[in-house]
Amino acid sequence: MNTPVHDFLTDYSNKNMIRCHMPGGKGMNSPFDITEIDGADSLYEADGIIRKSENNTAALFGAGATLFSCGGSTLAIQGMLGTLKQISEKNTIIAGRYSHKSLLTACILLGFNIKWAYPEEYLSTVISPEEIERLIDSDTAAVFISSVDYYGGEVDITAISAVCHRHGIKLLVDNAHGAYKVFTKNHPIILGADMTADSAHKTLPCLTGGAYLHLRDAALYPTAKNVMGMFGSSSPSYLILDSLDLCNSFIAGNKEDSLRTIKEINALKKSLESIGYTLKKSDDMRITVDAEAYGYSGYDLAQLLREKGTECEMSDEKYVVMLFSVSQKAEDFEQLYTIMKNLPRKGFSESEIHTVLKPECIISPREAYFSPKETIKTENAAGRICGGIHCPCPPCVPLVMPGERIDGECVKELIRYGVSFIEVCADR
Ligand SMILES: Cc1ncc(COP(=O)(O)O)c(C=O)c1O
């Protein structure tokens, strides 16, 4: 697989030019840290080396077209929704309740209303095709589904895309956690999604910030480029672009190794279960340990693992989430097994993490977010309308959305979530 961006950067840095152009580091931070100089192409008007590299990515993933993002899946999600805004006159997005906050912020900025699809469990994004079909109405512009979710839950994309397409509606998939599926043949763009946002940086060897917007319909490429240019910096990082370019060559050359790594993750799951751990069902790239079933809170188990030299992706009252990558070293799995084998099991205790809250929506997220607000103690917020976006990261998922009325149960859950102060609409 050719690497046009990397080759250009290598060439340019070998020439030792006097750098009378941005950025100010003049190659000191990295010789590849450049800007849109002659020949370097330009991310939002890509027709040279960046476009060639994007085409390589599209071919590897089976997409109609791919756009690079140096602003993570956050920018790719803005790109998906902004593109939709240009091609649909409808105003409502059906979205899984536990979507990442970037869905909410994009809808606030673009003026979309959101109709929430509720899963059975906190943080799950697994919604049935029947439920999606029940929610679709004449104002539905698209369905937005996250798959994989933070615990590793996966959605039936094939079935949901069939529902969407039967109703003439686009399916947008937040695949931030699933870029590695380029190897496993179940990438949502193959299964029927119309657009997907993939954080290359989460599960592929790519610098933080590197992500893809994949399009089924290549004709939408110019529209999506314009939209991403509206939200993204006009100085995207060439270090990230280089890393996205090199990722193509990794994908093309490391299929067997990557599939072996995935096998090793699944083997570790089995080994951990055989020594008494209970695991939540999860996708191929993570292990979600039910810490409580082993006698710990998720926080305590994560702390113990930290003390033994392992930092995990996320922990909460009940679970510890370990996220791997196709470039994970084999010895990591062996060491992890040894560490976890030697952790003493304690008594079983079970508690609920968070109940699935369904607060009443009073005004749109946009209206609430841009209305006059005040910040109050969460304990005093019952009866008020939420005006801000409050959530710990990870998982970066708000429990109560702007525009929704906060009730007593919301207050309890928000405080457990670590939200002690909250913005509410001042005039309501
Ligand atoms: C489900 C989900 N979607 C979107 C995002 C945003 O991705 P990025 O950090 O690449 O902007 C995240 C980030 O963690 C996420 O977990």
Q: Please check the confidence at residue 350 and state whether its pLDDT lies above 80.
A: no
Q: Please check the confidence at residue 351 and state whether its pLDDT lies above 80.
A: no
Q: Please check the confidence at residue 172 and state whether its pLDDT lies above 80.
A: yes
Q: Please check the confidence at residue 353 and state whether its pLDDT lies above 90.
A: no
Helix/strand number for the chain, H first, E second? 15, 13
- Tell me the per-residue pLDDT of 27-68, one tens digit each, with 9 for 90 and over: 999 999 999 999 999 999 999 999 999 999 999 999 999 999
Instruction: Let me know whether 190 and 301 are in one domain.
Output: no
Instruction: Let me know whether 57 and 107 are in one domain.
Output: yes
Choose the residue to mutate in 68, 74, 144 for probing ligand 1, maximizing ligand atoms within 8 Å of C-beta.
74
Instruction: Let me know whether 261 and 287 are in one domain.
Output: yes
Does the residue 346 lie in any domain? no
Residue 391 pLDDT:
93
Q: What is the CATH number of the domain that holds 331?
A: 3.90.1150.150
Q: Please check the confidence at residue 349 and state whether its pLDDT lies above 90.
A: no
Across the range 156-175, mean pLDDT stands at 98
Residue 330 pLDDT:
95
- Greater confidence (392 vs 401) lies with 401
Q: Please check the confidence at residue 359 and state whether its pLDDT lies above 90.
A: yes
pTM of the full structure: 0.97
Q: Please check the confidence at residue 272 and state whether its pLDDT lies above 80.
A: yes
* Residue tagged 């380029």 (tokens): 182
Instruction: Let me know whether 259 and 234 are in one domain.
Output: no
How many angstroms does the Cα of residue 74 sit away from the middle of ligand 1?
6
Instruction: Let me know whether 113 and 189 are in one domain.
Output: yes
Instruction: Let me know whether 295 and 241 are in one domain.
Output: no
Ligand 1 surroundings by CB, under 6 angstroms: 72-74, 100, 102, 146, 174, 176-177, 199, 211, 396
Across the range 171-189, mean pLDDT stands at 97
Across the range 97-126, mean pLDDT stands at 97
d(CA 4, CA 241): 11
Q: What is the CATH number of the domain that holds 378?
A: 3.90.100.10
H/E segment holding residue 229: helix 221-231
The residue segments making up the domain with residue 220 are 4-253
What is the count of structural domains for the chain? Answer: 3
* Residue tagged 């512009």 (tokens): 141
How many angstroms does the Cα of residue 382 sit away from the middle of ligand 1?
30
d(CA 284, CA 286): 6
Here the tokens at position 347 are: 């008594």
Residue 92 pLDDT:
97
Of 63, 59, 94, nearest in space to 170 by CA: 94
Q: Please check the confidence at residue 352 and state whether its pLDDT lies above 90.
A: no
